[in-house]
Amino acid sequence: MGRITSKDVARVAGVSRTTVSLVLNGVVGARIADQTRDRVLAVAGNLGYVPNALAQSLKTRRSRLIGLVVPSITNPFYPAIAQGVEDLAAKRGYSVFFCNSYRDAAKERDYALALCQRQVDGVIFAGVQHGRELAQELLRREIAVVLFDRVVDMAVDTVTVDNHTGSSLAVEHLLRKGRSRIAFLSGPLRIRNRRERLEGYERTLAAAGLEPAPELVREGRLEREEQGGIYELELGRALTRELLFSGVEFDAIFAVNDMTAIGAIEALREGGRSVPEEVSVVGFDNLTLSALIEPPLTTVSQPQYEMGLAAAELLFARLAEPSRPPEWKVFRPELIVRASG
């Protein structure tokens, strides 16, 4: 058999060439039954049909490429996000460029330019340092943009978690456990989601009649923040050691993310403090790793895969309807109680 064409796929699948084109081009909003879509994709795969990407891009003015920029692929939070994005992209016939920015603003700008040169149809930015400026530049170039886990003061599609509610769940849990001197550990608070978690922590303490103590709020400024998950682990160790050496009284730690919480547990052990008997520890994210450490970590769960999927859905909705109003999807977190607190 010679080169397989879309006509061959249509004949075997028992559908029109238009239907094959709509399915294989991932046209959003096309009224095609799921069974039909699945049959076309299966037939195309079985026949080994390979669309001419160049011809398609010239015809549709789409590259069928999207970019995903993350702060660090070494941070266990981001692989599930990436999987959600990639799974939906594959279903829509798109490929994904993964970019690891190491939380470096210059690298983020370089990647944004490189993605423009690749003529991607859209970009999902996760945890960018300069989200507003980069989003404006890409939108100016008519490239669809979705921000993930970052909120900026402009109209742009965004996916995030309710950080205030997540912090309240953590602090209320610790208060119910009888803890009253709850430390808050975080990386630099210039990042909005960290500030929101601090605000939730402070508001929940105040609502319980407890004045938030400044000496219990620890903001890390370690070097080599670009190391991602490793940085967060070191941050938790360093901030907890600061607390121990300062002599400040505390009976619980609420960390801004799970990796920081895990670092805190390690430092508490080194300092001779037992968890949770002397100090309860709660994180934020619910990484797979969090259930495997000793003791297993109590944490605020974010549905990482579903959030990645939602970011991709927003991006494809924007590609289908560029003039639609920007949408902000906020996921509600859930407290997962384990042995650490």
Residue-wise pLDDT tens digits, 308-337: 999 999 999 999 899 999 999 999 999 999
Which pLDDT does position 332 carry in this prediction? 96
Higher pLDDT, 108 or 60: 108
Query: What number is the average pLDDT over the span 260-285?
Result: 97
3-class SS of residue 225:
helix
pLDDT digits (tens, 9 = 90+) for 31-53: 788 888 888 888 887 877 766 54
Q: Which two tokens stand for residue 249?
A: 């009284």
Residue 268: pLDDT band by 50, 70, 90 thresholds?
very high
CATH code for the structural domain at 6-51: 1.10.260.40
The Cβ of residue 48 has, within 10 Å, a number of other Cβ atoms equal to: 9
Which pLDDT does position 60 carry in this prediction? 47
- Find out if CATH 3.40.50.2300 is the number for domain 63-160+304-331: yes
**Domain residue ranges in the chain:** 6-51, 63-160+304-331, 163-301
Percent of the chain with pLDDT over 90: 54
Query: What number is the average pLDDT over the span 261-281?
Result: 97
Q: Which two tokens stand for residue 187?
A: 């990386």
Average pLDDT of the residues of the chain: 87
- 65 Cβ neighbours under 8 A, 6+ residues apart: 94, 95, 96, 97, 118, 119, 120, 121
Which pLDDT does position 131 carry in this prediction? 64
Q: Same CATH fold, 163-301 and 63-160+304-331?
A: yes
Q: Taking the CA atoms of the chain, what radius of gyration do you get in angstroms? A: 23
Q: Which of 161, 122, 162, 158 is nearest to 320 (CA)?
A: 122
Please say if the pLDDT value at position 59 is more than 60.
no
Residue 236: pLDDT band by 50, 70, 90 thresholds?
very high
Domain topology for 163-301: Rossmann fold (3.40.50)
Which pLDDT does position 308 carry in this prediction? 96
pLDDT digits (tens, 9 = 90+) for 289-311: 999 999 999 999 999 999 999 99
pLDDT digits (tens, 9 = 90+) for 191-229: 888 999 999 999 999 999 998 899 999 998 754 444 445
Cα torsion angle, 297, 298, 303, 307, sign: negative
Contact 261, 282 (CB under 8 A): yes
Higher pLDDT, 230 or 146: 146
Lowest average pLDDT, out of 65-74, 95-104, 217-226, 238-247, goes to 217-226
Task: Give φ, ψ of 244 to 5 degrees.
Answer: -65, -45
Question: What pTM, to 2 d.p., does this model score?
Answer: 0.80
Which pLDDT does position 251 carry in this prediction? 97
Which pLDDT does position 9 carry in this prediction? 84
d(CA 254, CA 201): 8
Query: What number is the average pLDDT over the span 107-116?
Result: 82
